[in-house]
């Protein structure tokens, strides 16, 4: 059985060297434990703020507000299992596949935020942002540094693969990034294209088959089918305005 950490152990992890140096004098005081807890809480708060800023997840609705009744097909059980974050420990990738507007990005953001709250490092980027940034780098050293930047976090989210088409260079860069993270770190990808159509996203790229192979090996793939939430909400607003007009309201 693991021995509970002592106040001195916790002070050591916090690197409170002055307190540790005078531990025999300070230990009997009632305020020591409170001081250490305050320091732990403040550092945890600052760490979360810093990681949230670095992650760039953006705004999203919480899982409690996600309309699981909207999609015609969505494996809610599989997604809720992912919320336990075991996939991060297993370095498993997650691929959310479905048409535009069915909530793929929202679910990816929810997973990313949950990972952040659990203490993990996260980065979120659209495929266009990430690949455009990497392809624009002129020097090999700058490119290597930026690849390390995206390869480093515990969880990388690449959103909207398939919304644009890319050159062979973009495909090679994505393959390099996925390879660096392969079986080491988890990557979440959202895409509106089945893998059989990725050759259209990266036309003429020789690495597409290998890219998909690396991405889906030991991956959780969740397919979502249904109507776009945005189109549905727009139609409902139009119908409500029409009802108001019929009732004689402005």
Specify whether the CB–CB gap between 113 and 106 falls below 8 A: no
**Nearest Cα to 179, choosing from 203, 207, 138, 220?**
207
Domain residue extents for the chain: 7-55, 63-231
At 43 the pLDDT is: 82
Rounded-to-5 percentages of helix, strand, coil across the chain: 55, 10, 35
For the full predicted model, state whether its pTM sits above 0.85: no
Query: Within the chain, which residues score under 50 in pLDDT?
Result: 1-2
Sorted by sequence, the CB contacts under 8 Å of residue 95 that are 6+ apart come out as: 188, 189, 190, 191, 215, 216, 219, 220, 221, 222
At 1 the pLDDT is: 46
Sorted by sequence, the CB contacts under 8 Å of residue 184 that are 6+ apart come out as: 91
At 245 the pLDDT is: 66
What CATH number matches the domain at 63-231, 3.40.50.300, 3.30.70.3400, 3.40.50.2300, 3.40.50.20?
3.40.50.300
Sorted by sequence, the CB contacts under 8 Å of residue 128 that are 6+ apart come out as: 160, 163, 164
Sorted by sequence, the CB contacts under 8 Å of residue 243 that are 6+ apart come out as: none
Q: Please count the other Cβ atoms lying within 10 Å of the Cβ belonging to residue 139.
A: 8
As a whole number of angstroms, the distance between CA 103 and CA 107 comes to 6
């Amino acid at each position: 059985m693991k021995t509970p950490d002592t106040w001195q152990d916790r002070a050591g992890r916090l690197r409170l060297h002055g307190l540790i140096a005078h531990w025999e004098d300070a230990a009997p005081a009632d305020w020591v434990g409170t001081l250490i807890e305050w320091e732990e809480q403040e550092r945890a708060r600052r760490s979360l703020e810093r990681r949230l800023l670095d992650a760039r997840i953006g705004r999203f609705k919480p899982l409690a507000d996600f309309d699981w009744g909207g999609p015609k097909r969505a494996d809610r059980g599989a997604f809720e299992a992912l919320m336990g974050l075991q996939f991060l420990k297993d370095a498993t990738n997650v691929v959310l596949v479905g048409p535009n507007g069915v909530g793929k990005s929202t679910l990816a953001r929810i997973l990313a935020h949950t990972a952040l709250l659990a203490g993990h490092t996260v980065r979120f980027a659209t495929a266009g942002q990430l690949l455009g940034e990497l392809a624009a780098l002129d020097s090999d050293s700058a490119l290597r540094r930026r690849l390390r930047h995206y390869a480093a976090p515990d969880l990388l989210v690449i959103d909207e693969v398939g919304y644009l088409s890319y050159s062979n260079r973009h495909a090679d860069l994505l393959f390099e990034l996925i390879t660096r993270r392969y079986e080491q770190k988890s990557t979440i990808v959202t895409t509106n294209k089945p893998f059989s159509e990725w050759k259209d996203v990266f036309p003429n790229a020789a690495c597409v088959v290998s890219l998909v192979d690396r991405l889906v090996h030991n991956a959780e793939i969740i397919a979502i089918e249904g109507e776009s939430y945005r189109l549905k909400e727009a139609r409902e607003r139009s119908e409500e305005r029409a009802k108001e007009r019929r009732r004689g309201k402005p």
